Each structure stands twice: as C-alpha cells, then as structure tokens.
Amino acid sequence: MAVYLRAVRKAAGATLDDAARRTRTSISTVSRMERAEIPVPVSALEMLLRSYGVPPRSISYLLHSYPLHPRSQPHLSRHGLWDQWADMAGSEAIARYAAIPRIASEAVHLTNARIPPSFRTPLYRAVVTASTPAPDEPETPKRLAPAWLAHVTRPPGQRRTLLLEDTLLHRSTGSPTAMAEQLRHLMHLMDNPRETSPVTIRVIQRHRTRTPIDGEVAEYTVHGHRLIGGCRFVPWYETRSDSARSTQKCLREAAAQALDRDLSYQLIQKAAERWEAAS
C-alpha cells in the first residue's frame, strides 16, 4: 500500500505538503506512511485516495479488503488476517503486483512454472499473456497500464536473484523459438552483469532440491520490510506468518543448494541449443 500511495500521489501531481494538509498531519507522517514505517489510518487512506483522483470503486475495494491494522490477538494458525492479502482488483491489482519487484531493493524469485516478468523477452511475454487467463503483469503497450505505475522506479543497486528449477528449461512455453530466445536472454543477463543492478541466475535440480513450492514465489525487500508474493489466479502477499517464514526458509535452502554460475550457465545453454534445433 505504501508503494501505491506514493505512486498515485506523484501521478496526481501532489506534493507531500499537499497530502499532509489533506490529512491534517505533518509531512514527515505522510512520508513515513509512504515508506511503510507506520500504518495508514483508514480515514487518512480514504482522504488521500480521493484527493489523488482514484476512482470511487477502487477506493471502496481497498478500504474493505486491505488489512489496514495488525491483529490484536496472537496468531492461532499459519495465516492471520494481518499477514496476508489477495488483491482481486483486476488490472489495478496486476499493476500493484508489477510495482513491487520494480521498487524492491532486493528480490529473490523461485519458479518451476514460468519465467518471472522482469526477466522476460517480449516474445515470451506475449506467449504468457496469450496463454493464461490470469496475467501477472500489465498489458502492453504501456499506454494500457495505469498511469501511476510509471512513477514507480527501480532503486539504485537493486539486486535480483532468479532460481530456476531445471524442469522449466525443458517445458515448452510457446514455440521452440520463444523458448530459445528466452533462455538466450537469461544467458545474456549472466554474461553482462551490471554493477548498478546486479542479477544472479541459478538453476536448481529438482531431484536434489525438494521444495514445497509449486509455481512462482518471491521474497521482496521494500523499504526495509520483507514480504512474500506471488500470482497464481490473483496477486497475493504475505508477511510474518508461519507460512511466510516457511517460504523464506525454502527460498534460502534453494539458493544454498543451487548449482554454481558456470554449471547453471551450461544447463541453460544446452537447453537453448535444443530448443533452437527444434525450431
């Protein structure tokens, strides 16, 4: 919510001073809300969203669905009301999901289903978008994405890690050409590491690394806070619960058991060559 609040404020051309006056608070208070340092009161959230021109229907959805306050009772299960949120707001939900990896200072992705959005080629992206009823990134061209998303930018020094299960290298997503091009793109990222935004790509072997995760999941660090996120039918987020901690442990174990850079590169290259031969 903090990321979304800041982005819609900037898209509306409002300053922190404008927001502070709207909510009758200080600039520092609004700034802390936007950095997720303090909770956003329901009254303040409604006033801010209205002043930024967010459609009433979207405001109503957020006010009634987003867990704005921590649970007052101890956790009685693996999940708690405050711990998780499934965002079912259609294209706005997908845009909010796209904003998280963009603004995160660090992101660790684990997948055995499909390449995550920030690592895709245009062709692979088109195949995924056309073949799934539940997209995990905004539609292209960019003009179809909400205007506020353009105000979410990558921080300097952002670190991204992609852990690929080896079965994904041999599972067709679209044509052999799309697969070969996508794998070559991953090799390019490995060949050309950027100091300003380092990327680590590693392969995990299914027969050696037993993970309870089916599909895609990631751990994001946003404003110093860690949260688990994914998108199967709708975007979902989780933090602090037993389930979130279990997923965090799974990601760390997968990273520790992943093949090194050279072996990972070789497996991706061989798979790319096989898909090229089949095209």
Residues of the chain with pLDDT > 70: what percent?
90
- Token representation of residue 108: 């660790």
**Within-domain flag for 141:** yes
Q: Which value, in Å, is the radius of gyration of the alpha carbons in the chain? A: 20
Burial (CB count within 10 angstroms: exposed 0-12, middle 13-18, buried 19+), residue 78: middle
Q: Is there a single domain that holds both residue 239 and residue 102?
A: yes
Query: What's the whole-number mean pLDDT along residues 123-139?
Result: 84
**Within-domain flag for 75:** no
**Within-domain flag for 107:** yes
Q: Is there a single domain that holds both residue 183 and residue 60?
A: no
Does pLDDT of 213 surpass 60?
A: yes
Query: What's the whole-number mean pLDDT along residues 89-100?
Result: 92
Q: What number of other Cβ atoms are within 10 A of residue 249's Cβ?
A: 10
User: Which residues sit opposite 276 in a β-bridge?
Assistant: none
E strand spans, the chain: 84-86, 106-111, 159-165, 199-204, 216-222, 225-231, 235-238
Does pLDDT of 20 surpass 50?
A: yes
Q: Are strands 84-86 and 159-165 parallel, antiparallel or unpaired?
A: unpaired
Q: Is there a single domain that holds both residue 128 and residue 201?
A: yes
Q: Is there a single domain that holds both residue 253 and residue 192?
A: yes
Domain-ending residue, one of 11, 33, 68? 68
Q: What is the pLDDT of residue 77?
A: 46
Q: What is the pLDDT of residue 212?
A: 64
Does pLDDT of 81 surpass 60?
A: no
Question: Each residue of 218-276: pLDDT tens digit?
Answer: 999 999 989 999 988 899 999 888 888 888 999 999 999 999 999 999 999 999 999 99
Q: Determine which of 69-83, 100-114, 182-196 has the lowest per-residue pLDDT on average.
A: 69-83
**Within-domain flag for 230:** yes
Q: What is the pLDDT of residue 142?
A: 56
How far is residue 14 CA from its own chain's centroid?
Answer: 26
Domain-ending residue, one of 13, 35, 68? 68
Q: Is there a single domain that holds both residue 108 and residue 195?
A: yes
pLDDT band at 74; cut points 50, 70, 90: very low
Q: Is there a single domain that holds both residue 106 and residue 17?
A: no
Q: What CATH number has the domain bearing residue 167?
A: 3.30.870
Lateral strand order in the sheet of 199-204: 84-86, 235-238, 225-231, 216-222, 106-111, 159-165, 199-204
Does pLDDT of 72 surpass 50?
A: no
**Within-domain flag for 151:** yes
Q: What is the pLDDT of residue 71?
A: 47
Does pLDDT of 279 surpass 90?
A: no
**Within-domain flag for 73:** no
Q: What CATH number has the domain bearing residue 37?
A: 1.10.260.40
Q: Is there a single domain that holds both residue 52 and residue 85?
A: no
Q: How far apart are CA 37 and CA 24, in angstroms?
A: 18
With tokens 């027969």, the residue in question is: 207
**Within-domain flag for 76:** no
The boundaries of the domain holding residue 210 are: 81-278
The domain total for the chain is 2
Q: Is there a single domain that holds both residue 90 and residue 53?
A: no
pLDDT band at 41; cut points 50, 70, 90: confident
Q: What is the pLDDT of residue 232?
A: 82
Distances in whole angstroms, Cα of residue 146 to Cα of each of 92, 98, 220: 7, 11, 22
Side chain identity at 267, as an amino acid letter? L
How far is residue 259 CA from its own chain's centroid?
Answer: 24
